[in-house]
């Protein structure tokens, strides 16, 4: 595919054959054919409006819940993390937040304002946009329980305002209009005198003590089944510490796969498949992976 020629009015940066291993928390992934980092929403809208409709578009945030295969991604990857990171209080206990804001940052600001429940957001290792896309949650709370409205941009650069009624929302699942991407949300919280930085710190300490933070991973690999926890099933199947190539099932938390020794994306995907199949044989439970697996397989 030929690289598109940018309109002189487009201010963002376009890179060719950008290694996605530089941008994902697993530190793996082949090249993005084109990698566009917009300056702001207007810049992105202009870029998309001039992009040929045949070019695939992949929306990319912090890369914390993503496995890009070794063959990379065709078309254009939009690096959305460069968009607005503003958090604004717009009424009693209502917050407007850019999709590029890290969930931990949103949690911290809501706590300062005394809005709750908001500590749970600190348990989500990604951006608000990623949390919206998958209805991420932690500690018994989910993102869309707090959403009043969202703003999206579509494949052609058109911006829309939508409500939760436009989406089918379930556990770790959000289905809505195709080829639209979240750029902002309005969220409703409650006055909560019990919300404190200490409570958030406690939750973060729990994460630190129970999860392999600081190591290359994608967070939780599998969704929890209806009755139970994926980590317990994986551990009971004797898979803690199991390796394929440079990928390992964490010995600290069995629902994490970590890149311990220059793993390839293929190593990690093969280990995900092995864990799934082993748990299904051992327990009769079909685990659904939470991590998003995209791109072209390597040779």
Among 184, 179, 262, 265, residue whose Cα is nearest residue 218: 265
Q: Token digits for 114? A: 């005394």
pLDDT of res. 4: 54
* The architecture CATH gives domain 13-82: 2-Layer Sandwich (3.30)
pLDDT of res. 122: 84
| Contact assessment for residue 72 and residue 33, using Cβ atoms and an 8 Å cutoff | yes
| Contact assessment for residue 123 and residue 207, using Cβ atoms and an 8 Å cutoff | yes
Mean pLDDT of 112-138: 87
Place 55 in a pLDDT band, splitting at 50, 70 and 90: very high
pLDDT digits (tens, 9 = 90+) for 141-183: 899 999 999 999 999 999 999 999 999 999 889 999 999 999 9
Q: Token digits for 186? A: 């309005």
How many angstroms separate the Cα of 92 from the Cα of each of 10, 96, 114, 229?
38, 12, 11, 37
Nearest-angstrom CA–CA distance, 64 and 241: 21
What is the CATH number that goes with domain 212-294?
A: 3.90.78.10
pLDDT at 137 over 50: yes
| Contact assessment for residue 51 and residue 179, using Cβ atoms and an 8 Å cutoff | no
pLDDT digits (tens, 9 = 90+) for 178-209: 999 999 999 999 876 576 667 666 666 766 66
| Contact assessment for residue 254 and residue 239, using Cβ atoms and an 8 Å cutoff | yes
pLDDT digits (tens, 9 = 90+) for 247-294: 999 999 999 999 999 999 999 999 999 999 999 999 999 999 999 999
CATH topology of domain 87-191: 3.30.465
Q: Token digits for 166? A: 């436009």
Catalytic site positions: 172, 220, 290
Biggest CA-to-CA distance, the chain: 59
Domain ranges across the chain = 13-82, 87-191, 212-294
Nearest-angstrom CA–CA distance, 280 and 286: 5
């Amino acid at each position: 595919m030929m690289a598109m020629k940018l309109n002189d009015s487009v201010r963002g940066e376009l890179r060719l054959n950008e290694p996605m291993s530089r941008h994902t928390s697993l530190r793996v992934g082949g090249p993005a054919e084109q990698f566009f980092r917009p300056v702001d929403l207007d810049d992105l809208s202009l870029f998309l409006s001039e992009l040929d409709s045949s070019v695939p578009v992949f929306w990319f945030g912090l890369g914390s819940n993503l496995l890009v295969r070794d063959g990379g991604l065709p078309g254009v990857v939009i690096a959305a993390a460069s968009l607005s990171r503003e958090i604004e209080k717009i009424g009693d206990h209502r917050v407007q937040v850019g999709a590029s804001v890290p969930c931990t940052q949103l949690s911290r600001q809501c706590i300062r304002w005394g809005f709750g429940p908001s500590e749970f957001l600190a348990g989500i290792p990604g951006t608000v946009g990623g949390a919206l896309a998958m209805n991420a949650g932690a500690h018994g709370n989910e993102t869309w329980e707090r959403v009043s409205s969202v703003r999206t941009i579509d494949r052609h650069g058109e911006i829309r305002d939508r409500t939760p009624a436009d989406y089918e929302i379930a556990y770790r699942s959000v289905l809505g209009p195709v080829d639209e991407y979240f750029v902002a949300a309005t969220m409703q919280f409650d006055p909560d005198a019990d919300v404190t930085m200490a409570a958030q710190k406690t939750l973060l300490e729990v994460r630190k003590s129970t999860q392999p933070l600081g190591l290359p991973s994608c967070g939780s690999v599998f969704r929890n089944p209806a009755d139970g926890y994926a980590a317990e099933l994986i551990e009971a199947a004797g898979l803690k510490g199991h390796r394929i190539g440079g990928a390992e099932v964490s010995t600290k938390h069995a629902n994490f796969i970590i890149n311990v020794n220059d793993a390839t994306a293929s190593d990690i995907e093969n280990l995900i498949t092995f864990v799934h199949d082993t748990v299904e044989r051992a327990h009769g439970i079909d685990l659904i992976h939470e991590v998003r697996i995209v791109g072209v397989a390597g040779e």
